[in-house]
Amino acid sequence: MKENINFLYCFDTNYNTQAFTSMISLLNNTSRKINIYVIHNEDNFKSKVPIQILKHKNLVLFESYKFKDYQYDFPNIKNVHISVATYFRLFIKNYLPEKEKFFVFLDPDVICIQNPIPEIENTIKNMNDTDFTISAKTEHDFGVERINVSGNYFNAGVMVIDFAKWNHNNYHEKLIIKLEDLKKDIVEWDQDVINSMLNGRYLELDEVLNFKAATKVDKAYKSKILFIHYMGSHKPWLTSGIFQKDSNYYHKNFRKIAKKNFHIEHKWRVRSMIDFFIAILTLRIFRINKPFLFIFEFVGSFINNKN
């Protein structure tokens, strides 16, 4: 009998809704029973998890841990949309059970659209035949001098982690040293830290497991995509992103854990309103499913003064 695959999320209260949406998409598409682990900023986080997730037929274990390692200096989080939660995954050794060999890390803005298990199992098999501790998708194939990376640089939004090698190779201690050494040179937060430590030493992850939303591809390739990742600032719950290609995948899954049809937040309310009217005037609003319901809920999000 095959072991359950472990999935890991690291986030704080600001990303609860996004994470729940990601989790339900994963549970509804997986062909195997899975475990979900969460490192969060709250003590009672599990009490906020929707019943649709906790009682799902494909979920075996849901375990959450409150992050406590606040004694370090976490660079580049003041006056930006990123919180200290982005650094949680550097500390997984302090929380995750040592007996588990592999974890699949997912950012909360990753949505599963097809069964990912065969590709994940294939990745794990390939990692077992190598010395690599992490499998991730290359973001760009050139070095980053500011963090002393001469090899390829990967996106950390989806990673397959050999946790046994992570512990054996003392990655926790090495990452803390990197965090202290880089300090003001950090731009992409913990992603910079991990890349600097590995310097290109990782197994390439197939793009179907970390596909950048709104990327133009043909229909044949599109049919193979397993995880869609809403990278960058144009998120599907903001009006800057909701009218873009692939946002419907997010809201389709949001409806499965919420009473509304759309997850709507406003980073800048004036900008949201401008984007809304532009979408109507250019007819881009018809790119989304249920456009008239969106108009109703968008207006309501302003009247009710809720994000």
**Tens of pLDDT along 67-88?**
999 988 887 666 556 788 989 9
Indicate whether 168 belongs to any domain.
Answer: yes
**pLDDT > 60? residue 44:** yes
Of the residues 192, 209, 226, the one at which a domain ends: 209
Indicate whether 228 belongs to any domain.
Answer: no
The CATH code of the domain that includes 163 is: 3.90.550.10
200 and 239: one domain?
Answer: no
Beta bridge partners of 8: 37, 105
29 and 70: one domain?
Answer: yes
Indicate whether 288 belongs to any domain.
Answer: yes
Radius of gyration of the chain (CA): 19
Q: What's this model's pTM, rounded to 2 decimal places?
A: 0.94
Longest dimension (CA), the chain: 58
Amino acid identity of residue 300, one-letter, is G
Beta bridge partners of 10: 39
Question: Which range among 49-58, 73-82, 228-237, 276-285 shows the weakest confidence by mean pLDDT?
Answer: 73-82
109 and 71: one domain?
Answer: yes
Structural domain harbouring 164: 5-209
Of the residues 176, 209, 242, the one at which a domain ends: 209
198 and 156: one domain?
Answer: yes
**And the tokens for 37?**
């682990």
197 and 133: one domain?
Answer: yes
- The sheet with strand 227-229 has its strands ordered as 110-112, 227-229, 211-212
147 and 200: one domain?
Answer: yes
192 and 244: one domain?
Answer: no
**Tens of pLDDT along 262-305?**
999 998 899 999 999 999 999 999 999 999 999 999 999 987 75
Indicate whether 66 belongs to any domain.
Answer: yes
43 and 130: one domain?
Answer: yes
**pLDDT > 50? residue 307:** no
Q: What is the DSSP letter of 197?
A: H
190 and 253: one domain?
Answer: no
43 and 154: one domain?
Answer: yes
The rounded distance, in Å, linking the Cα atoms of 41 and 39 is 7
Q: What is the DSSP letter of 4?
A: P
In order, the DSSP letters of 229-275 are E--SS--TTSTTTTTSTTHHHHHHHHTTTSSSS-----SSHHHHHHH
Indicate whether 132 belongs to any domain.
Answer: yes
**Tens of pLDDT along 115-164?**
999 999 999 999 998 999 999 999 987 778 787 788 899 999 999 999 99
Indicate whether 222 belongs to any domain.
Answer: no
Could you give the dihedral angle defined by the CA atoms of residues 171, 173, 174 and 180, in that order, rounded to the nearest 10 degrees?
140
* pLDDT band at 193; cut points 50, 70, 90: very high
Q: What is the DSSP letter of 21?
A: H
Strand residue runs (E) in 42-95: 59-66
Indicate whether 75 belongs to any domain.
Answer: yes
Tell me the CA distances in angstroms from 74 to 13, 94, 111, 145, 173, one per residue in order: 18, 17, 28, 20, 16
The count of structural domains within the chain is 2
204 and 252: one domain?
Answer: no
Pairing type for strands 153-162 and 134-140 reads antiparallel
Beta bridge partners of 62: 36
In order, the DSSP letters of 129-148 are TSS-SEEEEEEESS-BGGGT
53 and 202: one domain?
Answer: yes
Indicate whether 219 belongs to any domain.
Answer: no
Helix, strand or coil, per DSSP, at residue 39: strand
